[in-house]
């Protein structure tokens, strides 16, 4: 059994589409949780989460503009 402290954590900026989504998918694994940011498209973020989960991974999309320091 894998505990949360045994899991790798991956952070991807801009992971809801394109190259960012491909990076998220490349890390999809039962022992890994992928956190990714997105800016506009909630639907694309949900799709990335679904695709990672379909590959037995875990993913969490976070709406965040990393260009704004206060967020």
Grouping H, G, I as helix, E, B as strand and the rest as coil, residue 33 is strand
Per-residue confidence band for 58, with pLDDT thresholds at 50, 70 and 90:
very high
Per-residue confidence band for 10, with pLDDT thresholds at 50, 70 and 90:
very high
Looking at 1-71, list the stretches that DSSP marks H as alpha helix, in order from N- to C-terminal side: 18-26, 42-54
- Which has more pLDDT, 27 or 6? 27
pTM for this one? 0.85
- Which has more pLDDT, 8 or 68? 8
**Structural domain boundaries in the chain:** 4-63
């Amino acid at each position: 059994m894998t505990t949360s402290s045994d899991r790798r954590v991956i952070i991807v900026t801009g992971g809801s589409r394109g190259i960012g989504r491909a990076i998220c998918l490349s890390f999809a694994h039962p022992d890994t949780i992928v956190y990714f940011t997105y800016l506009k498209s909630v639907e694309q973020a949900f799709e990335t989460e679904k695709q990672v989960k379909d590959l037995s991974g875990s993913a969490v999309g976070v709406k965040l503009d990393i260009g704004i320091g206060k967020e």
